[in-house]
Chain A
C-alpha cells in the first residue's frame, strides 16, 4: 500500500529532525542542524537496504515517489510565499552582498568538481 511508503518517509523525516534538533541544542543554537540532510541520508540507507533484500514492493515505493513528484509544485508555492519585496528593499548592501557572495561560490564549483572521483 502507498501509505507504507509515506509512513517510511515520515519516519525518516521525523528521526532526521530529532537528530538535527538535538545537535542544535548540543551547540546551544536555536536552530535545526542539518535535520533534512540526516533524514535524506536515512532514506538513502533504508532504500539501499530494502532494495538489496527485496523488501520494498513497487506500490510502497510509489507512496514516496508521489511526494518527490510534488517537489517542484511545492517549490513553486514556496517561491510565491517569499518576502520578495523585503529582499528588494534591503538596500544596496543586501543586493551587492547577495550577488557577489553567490557569484564567488558559483566560481568555485568547477575547481572543486575536479577533485571528485569520476
Chain B
C-alpha cells in the first residue's frame, strides 16, 4: 500500500490527470442522466472538487500525499496558462464594443466590494482603519486582501479573514453564476466583460462562466484579471486614505 502511494506521489501530475479525468467523466454522466443536462457537467465537477477539498487541509485535497499533484495541475502556473489560452476564442471586435464601461465597472466593482466588505467588518467589531481596509480588500479577491493587509501592516488574523472572504466569494461566484446568469443577462461577450469586471474573482468568474457558457470565459476572465490589479492598486492607497479620514 505504501509503495503504491509512493508511486502516485512521485508521479503526482500524471495521477492528477487521472483523478480529474474521472471526476469530469462522472460529473458529465450525472449531469446528463440525472439532471437532463440542466445542471452543467462543469458545474458539478467544480462542486465535487470543492467538496473533496474540504476533506483535505490547507491545500485542499493536495494536502493528502497521493494527491499532491493536484496542487500543480490546479496551481497558479497552469491555471493562468490555460486562462490565457482561452483568449484565442475572444475577438478584439467584441472587446472593443464594451468600451469605457469596461473600465468603469473595474473601478466601481472594487469600490463597492471594498465598502460593503469593510462595513460588515466594522459592524462586527473590526473598527480600525487598517482592519476595515484589509477586510474590504478581501471582499475584492483573495489576492487583494493579503496584498493590502501586508502593505498596511494589518494583524495576521485580519489577513486570514480577508483571505477567507475572498475564497468564499470565489466559491459563491462559481456555484451561483450558472443559476443566475440568465436573470442577469449574462449571455453575450459584453455582459460577460461587465460581469467579470464587477465581480472580479478570476477563479470564480472563469469557473462560473465555464459552467454557464464556455464561449464567454475569455471575456469574463479578461476583465476579472484586471479587477485584481485594480484592487491591489486602489485598496492599500486611495481607498485606505479615505477610510483613514473617517476612522482615526
B58 touches A86 (CB 8 A): yes
Once A43-B84, A83-B59 are accepted as A-B contacts, the answer to whether A93 and B120 lie under 8 Å apart by CB is yes
Across-interface contacts of A110 in B (CB, < 8 A): 184-185
Please measure, in the bound complex, the distance between the C-alpha atom of A115 and the C-alpha atom of B186, giving whole angstroms: 14
A81 touches B85 (CB 8 A): no
- Chain A, interface SS category: helix
Contact with A along B88-99 (1 / 0, CB 8 A): 111110010111
Task: State how many residues of chain B have any CB contact under 8 Å with chain A.
Answer: 114
A108 touches B86 (CB 8 A): no
B190 touches A118 (CB 8 A): yes
Closest A residue by C-beta to B174: A79
Partner of A84, one of B73, B88, B171: B171
B233 touches A84 (CB 8 A): no
Check if B180 is an interface residue, CB within 8 A of chain A: yes
Chain B proximity of A31: nearest CB distance (Å) = 5
Most chain B beta-carbon neighbours within 10 Å: one of A88, A101, A109: A101
Closest B residue by C-beta to A83: B58
A81 touches B98 (CB 8 A): no
Q: Give 13 new A-B contacts, CB below 8 A, not counting A79-B60, A106-B184.
A: A78-B74, A78-B75, A79-B207, A81-B74, A82-B53, A83-B57, A84-B50, A87-B164, A93-B121, A94-B164, A105-B113, A108-B105, A109-B186
